[in-house]
Structure formats: structure tokens, C-alpha cells
Amino acid sequence: MHVFYTPDIGSDVYVLNEEESRHCTRVLRLGTGAVVYLIDGIGGLYKAEITGETKRQVNLRIIEVQKEYHKRRHYLHIAVAPTKNIDRLEWFLEKATEIGIEEITPVICDRSERKVVKEDRLNKVITAAVKQSLQAYHPRLNPQISLSAFLKQKNDSLKMIAHCVDAAARQYISDVVKPAGSYTILIGPEGDFTGQEIEMALQSGYKPLTLGNTRLRTETAALAACFEVNYLNR
Amino acid sequence: MHVFYTPDIGSDVYVLNEEESRHCTRVLRLGTGAVVYLIDGIGGLYKAEITGETKRQVNLRIIEVQKEYHKRRHYLHIAVAPTKNIDRLEWFLEKATEIGIEEITPVICDRSERKVVKEDRLNKVITAAVKQSLQAYHPRLNPQISLSAFLKQKNDSLKMIAHCVDAAARQYISDVVKPAGSYTILIGPEGDFTGQEIEMALQSGYKPLTLGNTRLRTETAALAACFEVNYLNR
């Protein structure tokens, strides 16, 4: 099953760009009559047939359309501190896309050793996972932002912050999440949020979360939250 | 918090081996009086004090012992086909250790592109995760085995096989798992199990599982199963 990401698809015909045309004809060795699948990133899954090809251009005709393919009834936004080793953040993006996530924001915290992420690179990772796991919805990656600025943004979803500071107040996601909701979950950097950051978040209406009694790495904590929210919305 | 893995710990004193002694004195720059933690891999978490050190030898005195530290009430064994790219299997081992797993068996299937795994290397990954996530129990890694041989082994746990062949019979883990049980979950290779392999497993008493309606990579499916079992046993 060959999948192409085609956010600019409009009519019942489509022309693959030069890079993807080369991939289609040279790597996949596909020719006229072959069937491929297109994803528009906003819920559309298209079955298409190759009607003609050159090395540089592959013409497709849409033969079947599914809208709102595997649409989820909830909306999950995870704001996570980029990991020092960027592979760990990229790994999270790939896995979260497979499991189910709508929006990701890299937040820079006081203890963040990494202060900069390459948005293009991270988006490529997400797009690859979208195609591989056949997600018709492309998760949205926001530009990086400081935690303090992020907390000031208008946000009407159910807001939660996972941290490791022992406090009886912390609850499990399953204690606070109701199905079919919209959620924002904050995940801190290696070394956790500072007490001041947690205080700021609580004052901004974030509910304190625990993800269990084991020490989880940043990217594992973020994925654990992603798993639990999707499980509760199954 | 400095943690050492010391499966051979016996009395109320312990001597770090040369490699770990060097790490302790050279890298961590710890000296007499410093406090470190030791994990025996079978549930024991030890608080210890350095009573003397040379470059090659660090002497420790145990000052506090916790047995059955974070003991789980369930037992999870995941038998997973090694991924073509070994990094993905190693990644699963690290994450499963963080989340909670008791036993792992690499099973070689008909569609396995990788037929061989390096046990030592995989065990190093597990041990590193054990220390990093402060797990007092070291997951057990079994030697690789063919699926057919694995299915012939005596196994009294609740047995499940996750596969992607559409069949109304497939259930969610949450439909079949009762808390505080012992479970074995089979996860197939890229390209899934063959129909014949699934049939063999069902005849061996394995219940067919679905992990949801998204296409998951082998290592993602294995971790999803690990998350769900731990969630259901929280």
C-alpha cells in the first residue's frame, strides 16, 4: 500500500511533485494503472490510479474518497520540553502520530538544556509517520515557545501538567479526563519543571498530574500521556 | 541520585567493580561519605555510603534497604519479533523497562527480516533503563526462539496475540485482562504474522487482540500493549 502526503489536493486529478514522482517511478517502480493512496492531512484518504507517468511527473485520477477517515472524538495537544538529545523528541513525535495526537508545542522551560528545535525537521518526522501509519489527519506542530508565554495563551481545553514533585494533589489522567473532550498536557524537561513553573501552571488553571510511580524520561512521559488519553477515548 | 546495578550484592558492604569504581570516582567525582543507590534486580533498593575509594575500587556500606521496591501485582511477558532496524527493538526494551515489564522473548517469525539478535547488547539496554528509571526488578530477556518453538513451551499465563487480520473475534486487551494476573502477549514482525502463524497461536490457546484502528509499527504495538497492561493493573 503506497501512500503519498498531498495537502494541496483539490480536484479529482492530482499530479505528484517531481520528488515524489521520481520516488513513485524509480523507487516504487509504479506505472500507469497502479493504485496509490493520498492523504490530505485534514481527514481525507484518497484512492487514486496512475493515468500516466514520466520520470518527473506522475498523473493520478482519484477513484475513491473517504472523508474524516478515522476521525477521533477527542482533541489532544501535548506541550513538551524538547529533549537534550533531539532523537528522543523525534521518536516521541513518530510514536504519538502513530497512537494519535492532534497538536504538539515544544515549550522551553527553565531547566531545558535544549533551547532550539528545527521545526522543518520535526515536521518531516511527523509527515513520515502520518504516511506510515495511514493517518488522514496530520498533527499540527507549533513553533517553539517559552513556558511562560505558552501559559499566557488563551486555551479553553482541559489543561493538565505532569510533574514529579510529590504532592497528594496530583491525580491520574483517568481521574480528570472525560471522553470526547479537548485536552492540553504539559510535559517537562529532564530534571522536571521548577517549583515556580508548576506554581505558574496551577495558577493558569492546569491540573497537576501523576503518570505513575516509575521515573519516566521526558519522551516516555509524553507518550504515556498520549496512550492514556487515547485509551480513555477509545 | 547515583544508581548502580549490583545483582551480586550479598552483605551489608559492597565493592564496586573496577569499571564502576572508575565511573564513580572519575565521572561522578564521588568520594568517601557520598551516598549512592544500589539495585539488585530482584526487588532490592539499597542506600549506601562510600566508606573508602581508590581509582580502581570503591567500598560501600549499606545504610538502608528496601525490599520489593515498587513490586508490581501483575506479571507481563511480551514476546516480540525483532525489528529489521534493531534500534527500534532496543527502543522498545528501554521504554518497556521504564513503563513496567517482567519478561521479554525475541520470537523469530516467518516474515521476520531479522533472524538474529545480540542478547548481551539488548541486556545492556535493559540494565541502563533499569538504573535510569530506578526499577528494582530487572526484566528478564530470554534467548531468541522460533515462534513455533515458543508456542510449544509450557505457559500457564493468560496468552494473547496481537495481529492485524480483520476478524470480529479480536478483542481489546482491556476486554480480556483481569488485574493482578500473569500475561503473555505476542507481537508480530513488520508485515504481521502469517495466517498460519495466527492459527497455530489460536490453537495453542492464545486470544486474538486488536490494539486499535491505527497501523502501529512492531515496537509501537509492543509498547502499546505494555502501557495498556500496566494501566489496567494500576
Which residues make beta-bridge pairs with B33? none
Mark A68-78 as b/e (b = at least 16 C-beta within 10 Å): ebbebebbbbb
Residue A41 domain boundaries: 3-66
Q: Residue A157 is which amino acid? A: S
**pLDDT tens-digit profile of B50-89?**
999 998 999 999 999 999 999 999 999 999 999 999 999 9
* Chain A positions in Cβ-Cβ contact with residue B98 (cut-off 8 Å): 214-217, 220
Based on the domain organization, do B223 and B118 belong to the same domain?
yes
Based on the domain organization, do A118 and A216 belong to the same domain?
yes
Contact B25, B55 (CB under 8 A): yes
For residue B94, the chain A residue with the least C-alpha distance is A220
Q: Are strands A45-53 and A58-66 parallel, antiparallel or unpaired?
A: antiparallel
Please state the φ and ψ torsions of residue B231, each to the nearest 5 degrees: -60, -45
Share of chain A above pLDDT 90, in %: 94
pLDDT classification of A214: cutoffs 50, 70, 90: confident
B23 pLDDT more than 80: yes
Average pLDDT over chain A reads 96
Q: What is the pLDDT of residue B207?
A: 96
Q: Which residue among B66, B95, B116 closes a domain?
A: B66
Min Cα distance B134 → chain A (Å) is: 7
Based on the domain organization, do B114 and B90 belong to the same domain?
yes
Quote the CA–CA distance of B126 and A64 in Å, as a whole number.
Answer: 46
Query: Which residue from A156, A162, A144 is spatially nearest to A201, judged by alpha carbons?
Result: A162
What end-to-end distance do the CA atoms of chain B give, in Å? 26
**pLDDT tens-digit profile of A42-93?**
999 999 999 999 989 999 999 999 999 999 999 999 999 999 999 999 999 9
Min Cα distance A234 → chain B (Å) is: 8
Does B224 sit within 8 Å of A227, measured CB to CB?
Answer: yes
Q: What is the pLDDT of residue A148?
A: 98
In terms of C-beta density within 10 A (0-12 exposed, 13-18 middle, 19 or more buried), how is residue B38 classed? buried
Does B95 sit within 8 Å of A172, measured CB to CB?
Answer: no
Q: Tally A–B CB contacts below 8 A.
A: 66
Does B216 sit within 8 Å of A134, measured CB to CB?
Answer: no
Based on the domain organization, do B126 and B216 belong to the same domain?
yes
Q: Residue A6 is which amino acid? A: T
Does A172 sit within 8 Å of B217, measured CB to CB?
Answer: no
- State the pTM of this model: 0.95
pLDDT classification of B1: cutoffs 50, 70, 90: confident
* Chain A positions in Cβ-Cβ contact with residue B214 (cut-off 8 Å): 70, 98-100, 133-135
Does B132 sit within 8 Å of A215, measured CB to CB?
Answer: yes
pLDDT classification of B118: cutoffs 50, 70, 90: very high
Q: Are strands A145-146 and B158-162 parallel, antiparallel or unpaired?
A: unpaired
Q: Which residue among A45, A66, A87 closes a domain?
A: A66
Contact B226, B99 (CB under 8 A): yes
Quote the CA–CA distance of B160 and B92 in Å, as a whole number.
Answer: 19
**pLDDT tens-digit profile of B216-228?**
999 999 999 999 9
CA angle B33-B39-B45, nearest 5°? 80
Does A172 sit within 8 Å of B134, measured CB to CB?
Answer: no
B168 pLDDT more than 80: no
For residue A135, the chain B residue with the least C-alpha distance is B214
* Chain B positions in Cβ-Cβ contact with residue A132 (cut-off 8 Å): 215, 217
Q: Which H or E run contains A187?
A: strand A182-187
Contact B210, B171 (CB under 8 A): yes
Residue A205 per-residue DSSP state: T
Q: Which residue among A43, A66, A89 closes a domain?
A: A66
